[in-house]
């Protein structure tokens, strides 16, 4: 049997940014993606195009026709990339009716304090990783737990899941709950040990590649002294390949508090900037209330902003100034935020990003950006891979990348199936997926050619 598999399905992807290239969306109505050993491991994309053409070039490949008996309603997309999602918040999803700081105190931090228990941490890690894979997310920048023991449990489960996970221990030393506080010395030592155990580790699926990476993660400057930020900077500088992530400019009350805590800083971003935490592999979540200086500086440091529109809506944080980010040259990706947001669905997150731009009041300082289905696909896939500096590995179906993919196949009789069946073209299919699609439509998910999730076929 050939070690090359030729997947047959309609596919859509954005190998470039539609914010820069109007023709970025690429589609194949009867597509073929040839997967086998190559530069990205045993599940490398070796060829793509019309099925008949790819098959003619690789007649020995084993054909997997994903379409099933009905060839019209399945679509293969690149695996989703979620660039801001909190592992310890799965069980507090749905805490509506609060702003950020009250939501933290009443809804979220009591749950996060339970993660000193390894069994609790392990159980939630399984729930969290299943939530990602079951929604078609193949790569995630994960905001971790404050407890090192929980991060060992999490990374262990992440390795078993086969997903690409960038994550780290969250550190804080003030203004949360005492059991969530650490010290700069302990933050450094525990981070160093976790990096030694998990950063760059392969998965258990046999893939000889580093699917686990470490992210240095102060919770936010409100809860992190300069000493904690300096400890984070030391870990970041000493760890080749480590990423940095935190929160920025989410809520007006939060911003005022940070301003009072850091009187010497020019603005919120500067609390991270002066500590030496900003670079190409830095991802800052939210940035709803950004100043021009902050945007210019983020662009100069090549940082990314993780836009979390469901969270911004649920917590009433505000309208994300997408156009201002783009105009300043700041890279933008998407995140579900999970507890602050409304779940793991990146299709829903894309739809909410669209809604927010539709609803944004016109005029300075706001200016809505007309977001198309191609923009939403890019923001949900390649933009996230670019934010994490993993775009040589995943984010689209370019030859030489790993086969990270989600096959969406809505159940027969659902509105999504009906719309796709009658859709006039790929843009319309994509719009329907973002409008109507969810976990129930995810049929199978792969990372590096390894199947990491399969929905059982219904009896019929
Ligand atoms: Zn967050």
Q: Last residue of some domain: 340, 358, 387? A: 387
One domain, residues 366 and 408:
no
**Alpha carbons 447 and 435: distance in angstroms, whole number:** 25
| Ligand 1 centroid from CA 176, angstroms | 14
In terms of residue numbers, what domain contains 377? 80-387
Collapsing DSSP states into helix, strand and coil, what is residue 265? coil
Tokens of 156: 């262990």
The answer to whether residues 378 and 400 belong to one domain is: no
Residue 40 · residue 400 · CB < 8 Å: yes
Do 185 and 266 lie in one domain? The reply is yes
Q: What share of the chain is helix, strand, coil (3-state, %, to 5)?
A: 40, 20, 40
Q: For residue 118, what pLDDT is reported?
A: 98
Tell me, yes or no, whether 70 and 179 share the same domain: no
- CB atoms under 10 Å from CB of 260, counted, come to 9
Q: Identify whether residues 308 and 368 lie together within a single domain.
A: yes
Q: Residue 207 Cα, ligand 1 centroid: separation in angstroms?
A: 30
Domain-located, residue 460:
no
Q: Are residues 241 and 107 in the same domain?
A: yes
CA of 146 to the centre of ligand 1 (A): 13
Residues in the chain: 460
407 lies in some domain:
yes
416 phi/psi in degrees, rounded to 5: -65, -45
CA of 18 to the centre of ligand 1 (A): 26
Rounded Cα distance between 445 and 78, Å, is: 9
Q: How far is the CA of 180 from the centre of ligand 1 (A)?
A: 16
What is the 27 CA–ligand 1 centroid distance (Å)? 33
CA of 279 from ligand 1 middle (Å) equals 19
Residue 429 CA to ligand 1 centre (angstroms): 31
Residue 412 is part of a domain; what is its CATH number? 2.30.40.10
**Domain check: are 358 and 438 in the same one?**
no
Ligand 1 center–CA 220 separation, angstroms: 9
**Cα 269 to ligand 1 centre (Å):** 16
CA of 21 to the centre of ligand 1 (A): 30
How many independent structural domains does the chain possess? 2
Q: At what angle do helices 373-380 and 346-359 cross, to 10 degrees?
A: 130
CA of 291 to the centre of ligand 1 (A): 20
Instruction: State which residues have CB under 5 angstroms from ligand 1, the bound ion.
Output: 285, 337
Q: What CATH number is associated with residue 233?
A: 3.20.20.140
Q: Give the C-alpha separation, 86 to 88, whole Å.
A: 6
pLDDT at site 322: 96
**Is residue 222 located within the same domain as residue 371?**
yes
pLDDT at 457: 66
Q: Quick check: bond before 40 cis, omega within 30?
A: no
**Ligand 1 center from residue 340 Cα (angstroms):** 7
| Ligand 1 center to 317 CA (angstroms) | 12
Helices assigned H by DSSP within 22-70: 51-57
Under 8 Å between Cβ of 373 and 344: no
How far is Cα 100 from Cα 175, in angstroms, rounded to an integer?
14
Q: Which of 265, 268, 315 is nearest to 86 (CA)?
A: 315
Dihedral over Cα of 310, 315, 316, 318: its sign: negative
> What pLDDT is recorded for position 207?
52
Q: How far is the CA of 109 from the centre of ligand 1 (A)?
A: 12
- Residue-level pLDDT at 4: 97
Task: Report d(CA 88, CA 179) in Å as an integer.
Answer: 15
Residue 459 placed within a domain: no
Contact status, residue 337 vs residue 285, Cβ threshold 8 Å: yes
Same domain, 156 and 256: yes
What is the mean pLDDT, run by run of 10 residues, along the chain of 460 residues? 91 98 96 96 96 98 87 89 98 92 94 98 98 98 98 96 97 97 98 96 61 97 98 98 98 97 98 98 98 98 98 95 96 97 97 96 81 98 98 98 97 93 92 97 96 77
* Pair 67, 426: CB distance under 8 Å: no
Describe the crossing of helices 226-238 and 184-198 by its angle, rounded to 10 degrees: 30
* Centroid of ligand 1 to alpha carbon of 144 (angstroms): 10
Asked if 152 contacts 177 with a C-beta cutoff of 8 angstroms, the reply is: no
65 & 176 share domain:
no
74 and 86 inside one domain: no
Decide if 155 contacts 167 (C-beta within 8 A): yes
Distance CA 324, CA 368 (A): 9
CB 267, CB 238: distance < 8 Å: no
């Amino acid at each position: 049997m050939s070690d090359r598999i030729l997947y047959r399905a309609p596919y859509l992807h954005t190998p470039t940014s539609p914010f820069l290239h109007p023709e970025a969306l690429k589609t194949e109505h009867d597509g073929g993606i040839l997967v086998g050993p190559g530069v990205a491991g045993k599940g490398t994309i070796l060829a793509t195009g019309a099925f008949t053409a790819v098959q003619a070039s690789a007649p020995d490949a084993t054909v997997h026709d994903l379409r099933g008996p009905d060839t019209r309603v399945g679509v293969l997309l690149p695996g989703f990339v979620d660039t801001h999602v909190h592992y310890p918040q799965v069980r507090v999803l749905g805490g509506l009716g609060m702003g950020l700081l009250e939501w933290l105190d009443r809804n979220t931090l009591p749950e996060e304090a339970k993660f000193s228990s390894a069994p609790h941490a392990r159980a939630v890690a399984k729930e969290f990783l299943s939530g990602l894979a079951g929604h078609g997310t193949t790569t995630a920048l994960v905001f971790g737990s404050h407890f090192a023991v929980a991060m060992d449990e999490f990374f262990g489960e992440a390795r078993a899941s086969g997903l690409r996970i960038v994550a780290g221990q969250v550190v804080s030393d003030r203004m949360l709950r005492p059991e969530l506080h650490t010290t700069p010395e302990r933050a450094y030592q525990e981070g160093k040990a976790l990096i030694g155990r998990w950063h760059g580790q392969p998965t258990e699926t046999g893939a000889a590649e580093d699917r686990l990476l470490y992210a240095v993660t102060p919770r936010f400057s409100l809860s992190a002294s300069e000493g904690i930020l300096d400890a984070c900077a030391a870990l970041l500088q000493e760890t080749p390949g480590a990423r940095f992530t935190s929160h920025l400019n989410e809520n007006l009350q939060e911003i005022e508090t940070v301003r009072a805590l850091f009187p010497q800083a020019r603005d919120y971003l500067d609390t991270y900037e002066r500590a030496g935490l900003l670079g190409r592999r830095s991802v800052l979540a939210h940035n709803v209330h950004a100043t021009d200086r902050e945007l210019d500086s983020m662009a100069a440091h090549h940082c990314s902003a993780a836009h979390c529109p469901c969270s911004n809506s649920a917590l009433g944080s505000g309208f994300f100034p997408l156009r201002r980010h783009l105009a300043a040259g700041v890279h933008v990706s998407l995140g579900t935020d999970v507890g602050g947001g409304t779940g793991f669905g990146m299709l829903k997150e894309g739809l909410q990003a669209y809604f927010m731009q539709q609803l944004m009041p016109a005029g300075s300082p706001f200016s809505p950006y007309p977001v198309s289905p191609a923009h939403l696909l890019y923001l949900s896939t390649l933009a996230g891979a670019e934010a994490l500096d993993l775009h040589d590995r995943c984010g689209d179906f370019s030859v030489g990348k790993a086969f990270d993919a989600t096959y969406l196949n809505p159940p027969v009789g659902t509105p999504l199936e009906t719309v796709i069946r009658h859709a006039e073209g790929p843009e319309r299919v994509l719009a329907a997926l973002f409008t109507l699609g969810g976990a129930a439509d995810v049929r199978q998910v792969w990372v590096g050619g390894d199947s990491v999730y399969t929905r059982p076929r219904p009896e019929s």
